[in-house]
Amino acid sequence: MKQQFDLQKHIEQGVEQIVSDTLRATLKNPRESAFMVKFAAASRKASKTRMKLEQEGLHVPGFLIASITSSCNLHCAGCYSRCSNATVDEPPVKQLSPAEWERVFREAEELGISFIMLAGGEPMLRREVLKAAGRMPSILFPVFTNGTFIDDAYFQLLDECRNLVPVLSIEGGKEITDARRGEGIYDKVTANMDAFRDKGLIFGASITVTTENIREVTSREFLDGLIEKGCKLVIYVEFVPVTDEARHLAPGEEERAYMTEAMERLRAHYSEAVLLSFPGDELAMGGCMAAGREFFHINSHGGAEPCPFSPYSDINVKETSLREVIASPLFQSIQDEGLLTGAHAGGCVLYEKRAQVEAILTAKA
């Protein structure tokens, strides 16, 4: 008889491994290591909180993704956020205030959530929200940024608040990065990486993996360059084709198999860095982790969504507690109806099944 996959145990072990790997990656940085020791203790406490709530019938995900703004200064080719109109050029209205975001962060802490990924748009456009996040040392906030708004004030904030970890977007080398993100972006991003290293600040890199760059971004040459600049965290995210013209860029089964092998090889070699891949091996995890299985997304206006690529919501953090949001009927239906498994192009099964998600939302309206 096949042993049933234990999702909760898998996530607990994953969180512990991330903390352990990050601590190892910062051993040569006393201030960063001191923070990670304290965070490791807070993470263990958070894990116990989630386990207690699980026993009481509430499954709390280990992660959140929070898109704290719908504004961005770049127009990256194939950007899912712009294609879905989640990111716009007009001045944003009715976004969550810094105080409202801080309430969400504090409620997350009370529920035992210890990782909140800050995204956008460009999250560094909302300095006050990042300051609010900096006041929550028991939560680690990777900040997914295009790296163009990092100024002296931000360097100071990141030095004071070690729980804020900038994760700079890069597509590979100069040619492929500038082709997608705009001329001069590669030089700006890598210059900021050098500044982080010189100031003793930990940072990471986020890479959108496509059929065109997968070999380059998993090469030793590319990783050596990042590590030399002081990068301690590398996050690979599979490209999601939100237009028919971009479908050829989406990794398929062959690329996923290659990525699995590459991650094993790279992790064995680069012990001084944390390497993560999303969505990773979904089969081993029993399917996609979205819709509250182990993460969900809060958009800039407070709507709780299954994930950034599945922008549908039946509940808003402005109107209720995070605890109630976690129990979203939409999330539960998505899980119960088996929408988190199945073949798909690129990094999101729910994008492939968006018509079914819409139908669930309509039926519940």
Mean pLDDT lowest among 5-9, 159-163, 198-202 = 5-9
Q: Over the stretch 208-249, which tens digit does the pLDDT of each residue have? A: 999 999 999 999 999 999 999 999 889 999 888 777 777 888
**Per-residue pLDDT, 164:** 95
**Per-residue pLDDT, 4:** 43
The C-alpha atoms of residue 30 and residue 195 are separated, in whole angstroms, by 18
Quick check: 75 and 16 in contact, CB under 8 A?
A: no
- The stretch 81-92 carries a mean pLDDT of 69
**Per-residue pLDDT, 14:** 52
Q: Which domains does the chain have, with CATH numbers?
A: 7-364 (3.20.20.70)
**Per-residue pLDDT, 338:** 85
**Would you list the DSSP string of 254-304?**
HHHHHHHHHHHHHHHH-TTSEEEEES--TTTTTS--TTTTS--EE-TTSBE
Characterize the bridge pairing of strands 274-278 and 115-119. Answer: unpaired
Tell me the pLDDT of the chain averaged across its residues. 86
Where are any strands of DSSP class E within the chain? 63-67, 115-119, 141-145, 164-169, 204-209, 233-238, 274-278, 297-298, 304-305
Q: Over the stretch 314-342, which tens digit does the pLDDT of each residue have? A: 999 999 999 999 999 999 999 888 888 77
Secondary structure (3-state) at 171: coil
**Per-residue pLDDT, 285:** 63
**Per-residue pLDDT, 10:** 46
Residue 294: pLDDT band by 50, 70, 90 thresholds?
confident
Secondary structure (3-state) at 247: helix
- The stretch 18-24 carries a mean pLDDT of 67
Burial of 56 (0-12, 13-18, 19+ CB in 10 A): exposed
**Per-residue pLDDT, 342:** 73
Instruction: Give me the residue label for tokens 């690979």.
Output: 236
Secondary structure (3-state) at 85: coil
